[in-house]
Amino acid sequence: MSARRLLLLGPPGAGKGTQALRLVERLGIPQIATGNMLRDAVDGKTEVGLLAQAVMARGDLVSDDIVIRVAEQRLAAPDARRRGFILDGFPRTAGQARALDAMLGRIGTPLERCIALSVDEEVIVRRLLKRSAIEGRSDDNEETIRKRLKIYQAQTEPLIAHYSEKGIVRAVDGSASPDEVAKRIEEALA
């Protein structure tokens, strides 16, 4: 039986979204991707979207209180409560991790596994510049990509140690092909 309350951790461009979608298919549990939810909010011109738009476009992090609210609402939905979830892009700061751990602790469903995807920085920049040509995301230009990587290293990477202390982290090299990475993740969830 695979773990069903999962966190995919890794820098932008590590393949979190790609692998999350494969896990959705294979395990039948929802992906909870705050980046996608925020982009939808921007497109829908909601209050959250209007607050997040400029911050996202320049590659900074949206404030913890906004992102925590968005993520907690989604985690509280019946499908996530019943079947589990794949967190993709949340938490990204120590404050977000504390809020997540507290919420899941309150309802007695802690994270079961954290997959830490690692990919070499130059590979990431190349991948994201390619994605920018395909998807046209406003934050996929070289300057913003390097800034997002720095923010990842400073704010998000320390969460690997935080979850390592709980004994739930498995490191997976994300530089191989999507099929190969998916295989390694499957092994890490067994």
Active site (catalytic) residues: 16, 92, 131, 137, 148
CA 123, distance to chain mean position in Å, is 19
Q: Which is nearer to ligand AMP, 2 or 157 (CB)?
A: 157
Residue 61 binding ligand AMP, by CB under 6 A: yes
Least gap, CB of 75 to ligand AMP (angstroms):
13
The DSSP bridge pattern shows strands 85-88 and 169-173 to be: unpaired
Sheet-wide strand order for 113-118: 31-33, 85-88, 5-9, 113-118, 169-173
Residue 10 binding ligand AMP, by CB under 6 A: no
Least gap, CB of 190 to ligand AMP (angstroms):
26
Least gap, CB of 1 to ligand AMP (angstroms):
28
Residue 55 binding ligand AMP, by CB under 6 A: yes
Helix (H) or strand (E) holding 114: strand 113-118
Residue 48 binding ligand AMP, by CB under 6 A: no
Residues 67-86 that bind ligand AMP (CB under 6 A): 67
Of 171, 8, 3, 166, nearest to 87 by C-alpha is 8
Q: Is the distance from CB of 24 to CB of 86 less than 8 angstroms?
A: yes
Residue 140 binding ligand AMP, by CB under 6 A: no
Residue 7 binding ligand AMP, by CB under 6 A: no
